[in-house]
């Protein structure tokens, strides 16, 4: 396959925020592949975040994060028997209201 260098359209280079060496990038690629095989439902970006966090944080800090996750409940998780009501919005009505609001602004 031939590639051409077109000014203004350079290839996107993958960011290497942690300054991994070529060997470390190979290890990361293999680890992410293994993680993908073991946990296919986990988004690749999340797996990459976990890899980078575990690879670049001190063990004590990781232990502290894990303890915090276990002890402090997340504010984003619903409690038992808690439910949320969702309002169904009519798209046409929504557009009409938006147009009326824009006319009032003018």
pLDDT in tens, 36-84: 999 999 999 999 999 999 999 999 999 999 999 888 877 777 677 766 6
Quickly list H helices, 22-58: 22-38, 44-56
The predicted pLDDT at position 101 comes to 67
The predicted pLDDT at position 105 comes to 64
φ, ψ dihedrals at 50, nearest 5°: -65, -45
Q: pLDDT tens across 2-47, in order?
A: 667 778 877 777 788 899 999 999 999 999 999 999 999 999 999 9
What predicted TM-score, i.e. pTM, was given to this entire model?
A: 0.56
Question: Looking at the chain, which runs of residues are DSSP E strands?
Answer: none
Task: Please list the helix, strand and coil fractions of the chain in percent, rounded to the nearest 5, in that order.
Answer: 55, 0, 45
User: In terms of Cα–Cα distance, which of 74, 83, 25 is closest to 51?
Assistant: 25
| Residue corresponding to tokens 């984003």 | 76
- Rounded distance, CA 89 to CA 2, Å? 51
């Amino acid at each position: 396959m031939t590639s051409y260098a077109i000014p203004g359209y350079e290839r996107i280079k993958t960011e290497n925020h942690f300054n991994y060496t070529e060997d470390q990038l190979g290890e990361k690629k293999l680890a992410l592949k293994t993680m993908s095989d073991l946990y296919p439902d986990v988004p690749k970006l999340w797996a990459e975040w976990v890899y980078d966090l575990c690879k670049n944080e001190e063990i004590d800090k990781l232990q502290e994060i894990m303890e915090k996750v276990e002890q402090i409940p997340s504010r984003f998780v619903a409690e038992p028997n808690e439910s949320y009501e969702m309002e169904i919005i009519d798209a046409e009505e929504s557009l009409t209201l938006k147009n009326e609001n824009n006319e009032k602004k003018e």
